[in-house]
């Protein structure tokens, strides 16, 4: 996701490519996808910090004059800390990017047991 010049990056909240404070969040470890830190969008709302209320959010300041379109677009979606990653389809996308884990005494690319029995 492209960030505009008005957006500021905040401290990373992930640990070892995971979001341990979210029990159902998938791990990005081994996928090649880098966890992104939260950012502040052009409306002054922090996106991706797992705090879902912001004093600058249109949701917290809604009036009859508020146009819902104000909350559309990439400035409202975090690339790695988003509820969408919890869906079955997106979890499968992450799992398919991970290298298979070898078992005990196994080489990840060579069959070292071939012709041994």
The percentage of residues in the chain with a pLDDT greater than 90, rounded to a whole number, is 15
Threshold 0.75, pTM exceeds:
no
Q: How many whole angstroms separate alpha carbon 110 and alpha carbon 83? A: 38
Q: Give, as one character, the DSSP assignment of residue 18.
A: B
Structure tokens at 103: 């078992």
Choose among 86, 79, 90, 69: nearest CA to 39.
Answer: 79
The continuous run of DSSP H or E covering 92 comes out as: helix 88-97
The percentage of residues in the chain with a pLDDT greater than 70, rounded to a whole number, is 74
pLDDT at 84: 84
pLDDT band at 41 (very low <50, low <70, confident <90, very high): very high
pLDDT at 116: 61
Choose among 37, 24, 44: nearest CA to 91.
Answer: 24
Neighbours of 116 (CB within 10 A): 6
């Amino acid at each position: 996701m492209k960030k505009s010049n008005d957006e500021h990056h905040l401290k990373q909240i992930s640990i070892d490519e995971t979001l341990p404070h979210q029990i159902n969040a998938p791990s990005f470890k081994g996928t090649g996808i880098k966890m992104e830190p939260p950012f502040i969008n052009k409306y002054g709302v922090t996106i991706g910090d797992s705090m879902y209320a912001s004093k600058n959010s249109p949701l917290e300041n809604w009036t009859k004059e508020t146009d819902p379109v104000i909350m559309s677009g990439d400035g409202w979606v975090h690339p790695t800390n988003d509820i969408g990653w919890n869906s079955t389809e997106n979890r499968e996308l992450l799992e398919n990017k991970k290298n298979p884990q070898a078992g005990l005494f196994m080489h990840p690319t060579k069959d070292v047991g071939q012709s041994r029995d």
